[in-house]
A and B are shown apart, each in its own frame.
Chain A
Amino acid sequence: MPVTAEKLKELEKMAKKLRYDIVMMIGTGKPGHLGGSCSIADLMSVLYFYKMRIDPKNPKWPDRDRFVISKGHAVLAQYAALANLGYFPMDDLGTLKELGTKLQGHPEMLRMPGLEANTGSLGQGLSVSCGIALAGKLDKRDYRVYCIMGDGEIAEGQVWEASMTASYYKLDNLVGILDKNRIQAMGPIEKRYDTNPHADKWRAFGWNVLEIDGHNIEEIVAAFDKAEQVKGKPTMIVANTVKSKGVPFAENKAQFHHGMMTQEQYDTARELFVD
C-alpha cells in the first residue's frame, strides 16, 4: 500500500471540506447542482490531492496531468478543489453564478484558472480528453488525462464515439471515471432511461474496466494507481456513488440534482461538514 493511513485520513477530510464548500457555494435562495457535485467529492479529493501531477502556481504547465469534468454541472466540486489548492482565493467561492464571476454555472476555462475545457453540454468531455491524450502521445509527454462522466450523461452518443477513439488509438494515458450515482435530473436512471449495464459496455468498447465504491478513499486510490499500470488501452473506473452523498436530506433525491436548500436545510448541511 503506497498510501499511509494518515494520507487516507487527510483525503477523507478533504472530501468533507469539498462538500462543505459545495454547500456554502450554493447557499440559500438559489438552486445549485448539489447532488452530482457531492457524489464526486471523494473522487475529486483523491485526484487533486493525491493522484494528479499539478502545480497550482503554474496552471498551464505543459506536463501537468489534466482533469476534464465532462459532467460540467458538477463543477462545484472542482471549484472547491481548485480553491483549496490555491488556484484562486477561497473567498471567490461565494460568487457562484453571480454576474461577471469566474465561477460560472458550467465551467469556462477562459474565466477560471485550472479548468482544461469548456463543458456543460453533456457528452463532449471524453472527446476533448481523447484529443489531449492524443497530443500527449504525439509530443511524447507523460502527462495523464482524467475525465469524469455521469451515468445519465452516457446516453449521449458522442460518448461512445469517443470511447472508440480512445481504444482505437490505444490511449492508455486516459482514465475515464463514471460517476454512477444512479439518478439523472428527472429521476432514477433505472426508471427514466436505463444506461446499464456499464462495465460490460466499456469492456466491449475496448476499455480496461475497474469497479469501485466511489466513496471509499482507499479503493479510489488503488483504482487510480492500478490504471497507471495498464498499457495499450484506456481505463474506465466505474465508481458506484450516491447522489448528494454526505447530505442525508438530499441523498438519492433527484430534486437535488439542481435543487434549492431552505435555510434550515442549509444550516443542517453546513453543520454536517464543520470540523
Chain B
Amino acid sequence: MNKQNCRAVYGKTLVELGMKDERIVALDADLCKSTMTCLFEEAFPDRHFEMGIGEQNMVSVAAGLALSGKVPFVNSFAVFSAGRPYDQIRVSVCIGEVNVKIVGSSAGLSDFGDGATHQSIDDIAIMRVLPNMVVLSPADGIETAKMVKAMVDHDGPMYIRILRNDVPDVTDPKTEFKIGVPTVIRDGKDITVFAHGYMVYKALLAADILEKEGVSLKVVNVSTLKPIDEDVVKELCAGAKGIVTVEENSIIGGLANAIAMIMRGSAIPMEAVAVKDVFGQSALDWEELLVHYGLTEKEIVAAVKKVLK
C-alpha cells in the first residue's frame, strides 16, 4: 500500500496553489520545517511570514491579512494553532467569518514523542464548537491535496488537521472532495463505521478481519467534521445493525458526538472508539500510543461485536 506524508503533501500543494493564486500567504510560529510551509517560504519569501513564537498574535495578524483580501494559512502544531489562540480564532476570525485557514499540524497522537503538551486530543472538539468554522481531517495524502485546494476556494474560516507521520492511501484519487459530504471507502451491509484521519485505515483493517467472520462493514470517511451532511449520514445508516465511530481524538466533542447527534432517536445501537477523556503521553512510536489508547483494528472489531450483541 502506498504511503504518503500528509505534511509533505500539504506543503507541496500549498506551493502549487500559491503559484496560481497570489492571494495565498502563509504564517508560521518557528515550526515551518515541521509544518512543511518551509517549502512555501522558499518559493514565495515575500508571502511567508515568520511570526516568532506567538500563535495568538499570528492568528489575529492572519485575520488582518484576510480582511485585506489575502488567503492566509496559519501553521503550527494543532495544540498551538487551535488550542493556544482559541479566543483569537473565536473573535478575530469566526465571529466575523474571516477567511483564515488554521492548520493543525502534528495532530492527534502523531507527535508521539513529545507527550501530552503536544498531542491534540481536543482540537476537533474546540474547532467544531465555533460557529462558522469548517473542520477538516484528511484520511490520507490524496485527500489532503484535494482539501487544501478546497480551502482556497471556500471563503470563510477553516481548520484542517494534519498528521505528522506517513499514512497509507485509502481514498480514491478520482473522487471529488466536497466539504461536508462523507464518502464510502468500502461498502458493506451489517455495520456502518464512521471514521476520520488515519482511523479510516484502521477501520478498513477491521473490515478485513470481520469479513472472514462473516460480518460486513461499511467504512465511511467523515473527513469533514463540520458541517456534516445529515441526510447522507442517515442514508448510510439505513438498514445497518449497528454504528461504530472511530477517531484519534477525545470521545468528547468529536465524531462520536456528531454522529450520535444526527442519529438521535434511532434504534440502531452505537459504539465509539476514541481517546477516552484523558491526555496523551510520550511513546517511542505512534502505533504504540494508538494501541495504548485503544485506537486499533482490534478495538474496532470489539466495538462491532458489542453493537451486534
Chain A contacts to B: CB under 8 angstroms: 62, 108-110, 116-121, 124-125, 127-136, 138-139, 157-158, 161-162, 164-165, 168-169
Residue pair A165, B92 in contact (C-beta under 8 Å): no
By DSSP majority rule, is chain A's interface helix, strand, loop, or mixed?
helix
A202 to nearest B CB, angstroms? 16
Residue pair A124, B92 in contact (C-beta under 8 Å): yes
In the complex, A116→B98 CA distance in Å?
Answer: 11
Return the chain A residue nearest B61 by Cβ: A131
In the complex, A121→B69 CA distance in Å?
Answer: 23
Residue pair A117, B92 in contact (C-beta under 8 Å): yes
| Of the residues A121, A129, A135, contact of B91 by C-beta under 8 Å | A121
Interface flags for B88-99 (1: CB within 8 Å of A; 0: not) read: 101110011110
In the complex, A161→B96 CA distance in Å?
Answer: 22
In the complex, A134→B97 CA distance in Å?
Answer: 20
Return the chain B residue nearest A134 by Cβ: B65
Residue pair A118, B92 in contact (C-beta under 8 Å): yes
Residue pair B70, A124 in contact (C-beta under 8 Å): no
Q: A130-B60, A138-B25, A162-B60 are in contact. List 16 more A-B contacts (CB 8 A).
A: A62-B69, A116-B67, A117-B67, A117-B96, A118-B91, A119-B91, A124-B56, A124-B87, A124-B92, A127-B92, A128-B63, A135-B69, A138-B47, A157-B56, A162-B57, A165-B61
In the complex, A135→B99 CA distance in Å?
Answer: 14
Which residues on the B side are within 8 Å of A124 (C-beta)? 56, 60, 87-88, 91-92
Which residues on the B side are within 8 Å of A133 (C-beta)? 64
In the complex, A162→B58 CA distance in Å?
Answer: 8
Which residues on the B side are within 8 Å of A117 (C-beta)? 63-64, 67, 92, 96
Which residues on the A side are within 8 Å of B56 (C-beta)? 124, 127, 157-158, 161
In the complex, A117→B51 CA distance in Å?
Answer: 20
Residue pair A161, B54 in contact (C-beta under 8 Å): yes
B162 CB–A CB distance under 8 Å? no
In the complex, A8→B256 CA distance in Å?
Answer: 64
Number of A-B contacts (CB under 8 A): 104
Query: Of B57, B63, B66, B92, which is in contact with the most chain A CB atoms at under 10 Å from its CB?
Result: B57
Chain B contacts to A: CB under 8 angstroms: 25, 46-47, 49, 51-52, 54, 56-57, 59-70, 72, 87-88, 90-92, 95-98
Which residues on the B side are within 8 Å of A139 (C-beta)? 68-69
Return the chain A residue nearest B95 by Cβ: A118
Which residues on the A side are within 8 Å of B49 (C-beta)? 134, 169
A75 to nearest B CB, angstroms? 14
Which residues on the B side are within 8 Å of A130 (C-beta)? 57, 60-61, 64
Which residues on the A side are within 8 Å of B91 (C-beta)? 118-121, 124
Selected A-B contacts with CB under 8 Å, 11 pairs: A116-B67, A117-B64, A118-B92, A120-B91, A127-B63, A128-B92, A130-B60, A139-B68, A161-B52, A164-B54, A165-B54
| Of the residues A116, A119, A121, A127, contact of B61 by C-beta under 8 Å | A127
A168 to nearest B CB, angstroms? 8
Residue pair B60, A131 in contact (C-beta under 8 Å): yes
Which residues on the A side are within 8 Å of B96 (C-beta)? 108-110, 117-118
Which residues on the A side are within 8 Å of B87 (C-beta)? 121, 124
Return the chain A residue nearest B91 by Cβ: A121
A167 to nearest B CB, angstroms? 12
| 7 cross-chain pairs, A with B, having the tightest CB-CB distances, nearest first | A131-B64, A127-B60, A135-B68, A161-B57, A161-B54, A131-B61, A128-B64
In the complex, A122→B56 CA distance in Å?
Answer: 12
Which residues on the B side are within 8 Å of A136 (C-beta)? 68
A145 to nearest B CB, angstroms? 8
Query: Of B46, B61, B69, which is in contact with the most chain A CB atoms at under 10 Å from its CB?
Result: B61
Residue pair A135, B57 in contact (C-beta under 8 Å): no
In the complex, A117→B91 CA distance in Å?
Answer: 9
| Of the residues A62, A135, A161, A164, contact of B64 by C-beta under 8 Å | A135
Which residues on the A side are within 8 Å of B69 (C-beta)? 62, 135, 139
Query: Of A129, A161, A168, which is in contact with the most chain B CB atoms at under 10 Å from its CB?
Result: A161
Residue pair A134, B95 in contact (C-beta under 8 Å): no
Return the chain B residue nearest A130 by Cβ: B61
In the complex, A184→B104 CA distance in Å?
Answer: 36
In the complex, A222→B283 CA distance in Å?
Answer: 61
Which residues on the A side are within 8 Å of B68 (C-beta)? 131-132, 135-136, 139
Return the chain A residue nearest B47 by Cβ: A138
In the complex, A168→B52 CA distance in Å?
Answer: 10
Given contacts A117-B67, A131-B66, contact A164 B52 (CB under 8 A): yes
Residue pair A121, B64 in contact (C-beta under 8 Å): no
B87 to nearest A CB, angstroms? 5
In the complex, A124→B47 CA distance in Å?
Answer: 22
Residue pair A158, B57 in contact (C-beta under 8 Å): yes
